[in-house]
Structure 1
């Protein structure tokens, strides 16, 4: 079976009360999910607050995960940065640690041309000997890839897939037609079942940190042809996701882990802290 097929939590970054990275909590999150049967992890992405971390902190997280997993699962390192040199540095570090693949969001903020974005990705794969998964997140990056753009990457075998964090399931289906060797990861947890119906076989998600079992079950039910029950599980997951959106997804996911006994201590500023009402809402829905 393809080692990129299945459920991949996009790992959060838990903190200690002093704001430092909490190694013990990260280890607990990893093992909690390995016990549930996830295929691997997506490390250092949006959910990890990558752009609020220093280079040393991003490397430290890669160290922790590599050491804890020790060949037990597939590891994808998100190395995305606005600067090519920083991305290459993280890519080489991931390669040295034995990661399976790297991933990167497109460089953002400056409204780079497609030629500049293309150069960014090819500069990385020309300097790092790991396969690349493009992170397509138009709502946050401000970069929208059309099918012609995507094919320019996917014609090169060093590009093995796309993390598609978009509600455009038509585009997801079109991506799957480019080449059967490619993996398209669904990136919006709330439309996971829809993505399966369009042909996806993999997903990377924030809420998988604390409820990956729901998505593993949806996948199983879909494969068995039990669509109505799969819809029920997706609907239950979406009730929780709706509450997370109301309070802030990053902070909410971490509080859900706190409820499960894993210290996370919220998200870094400028993310706001959860109010008592926010916490009560999550506690109620998570019952």
Structure 2
């Protein structure tokens, strides 16, 4: 199995779109270089912020191919290969491995309810099909299926290449249990926060970083959280962590993915809109977003 240190700030990179909703390949390359230039520790194509739910299989192949090519080995590439069925997940995972991904991030199945035993079997079959490190991805508000801490620990114990978990539940106790139950295993296991407001808290509790959607907007600031923590400068890390709160407060006006993409556009990155119908922000929300971006700029976020 390829060894990759799962750590740091990993942006779920946006998938730039042209006006006709085709992928803007040139801008995708620009975004790869933009975030790497800011010091990120990995890149995660077609995650939630990359609109994986709206991309076809062929588009995912193309996005991954571009990201791997443009990254040129500077940071690890995490491919989101989770699908609704085990069969599709295995297919996409194998394809991601063949294209040269460094790590797989596998989201839980969605739409139909799955028991913990079914989730365990799903992940074990996917893990057996590839020879890449796998990071489990728990985001129950989006998928309807939650990965229980005991299931994460069981998978980490039984599958050598399941080496991490990203928790986007927003439940800090759930994420803490991921850390606690895997810390006793005879292997390195990395817990990443999928909620940007909990990156420093989980680092302090033994986690390894975060898959940070806000890094598409303020990559330097998000990297600062991790780098300051790693340097032992907790005051600086806390300042960076707290500085993104006003921006995240705007998420109440709509889909966070949409707001992050609009924000990136307002700050000068021509990433286009999210695919319809997930592309609208109310006039009230847009006004709040523009105001907070001005405040963030004045406060040095970038």
Q: TM-score, normalised by structure 2?
A: 0.88
* CA distance in 2 between partners of 1:216 and 1:58 (Å): 26
- 1:111 alignment counterpart: 113
Given candidates 203, 207, 225, the residue that maps to 2:210 is 203
Question: For structure 1, which segment, 256-265 or 102-111, has the greater mean C-alpha deviation from structure 2 after superposition?
Answer: 256-265
Tell me which stretches of 4 or more aligned residues in structure 1 moved more than 6 Å.
none
- 2:88 alignment counterpart: 86
* CA distance in 2 between partners of 1:113 and 1:40 (Å): 31
Report 1:11-30 matches (<5 A): 11-30=13-32
Q: Deviations over 1:255-275 (max 9, x none)?
A: 222123221221112214234
> What is the total number of aligned residue pairs between the two structures?
287
Q: Deviations over 1:83-124 (max 9, x none)?
A: 222212211111111111112111122112222222211221
1:251, CA displacement in angstroms? 1.5
Local SS of the residue matching 1:252: helix
- 1:246 alignment counterpart: 253
- 1:144 alignment counterpart: 146
- 1:68 alignment counterpart: 70
- 1:169 alignment counterpart: 172
Contact 1:160 1:181 in 2 (8 A): yes
1:186, CA displacement in angstroms? 0.9
Contact 1:106 1:117 in 2 (8 A): yes
Contact 1:172 1:198 in 2 (8 A): no
Structure 1, unmatched stretches of 5+, are: none
Local SS of the residue matching 1:102: strand
Q: Deviations over 1:112-153 (max 9, x none)?
A: 222222221122122222121110112222222333212220
Contact 1:80 1:87 in 2 (8 A): yes
Is residue 59 of structure 2 the alignment partner of residue 52 of structure 1? no
Question: For structure 1, which segment, 188-197 or 169-178, has the greater mean C-alpha deviation from structure 2 after superposition?
Answer: 169-178
Structure 2, unmatched stretches of 5+, are: 295-302
- 1:186 alignment counterpart: 193
Local SS of the residue matching 2:278: coil
Q: Alpha carbon RMSD of aligned pairs, Å? A: 1.9
Contact 2:4 2:133 in 1 (8 A): no
Q: TM-score, normalised by structure 1?
A: 0.93
* CA distance in 2 between partners of 1:226 and 1:128 (Å): 39
Report 1:121-160 matches (<5 A): 121-155=123-157, 156-160=159-163
* CA distance in 2 between partners of 1:200 and 1:245 (Å): 27
Local SS of the residue matching 1:43: coil
Given candidates 9, 12, 32, the residue that maps to 2:11 is 9
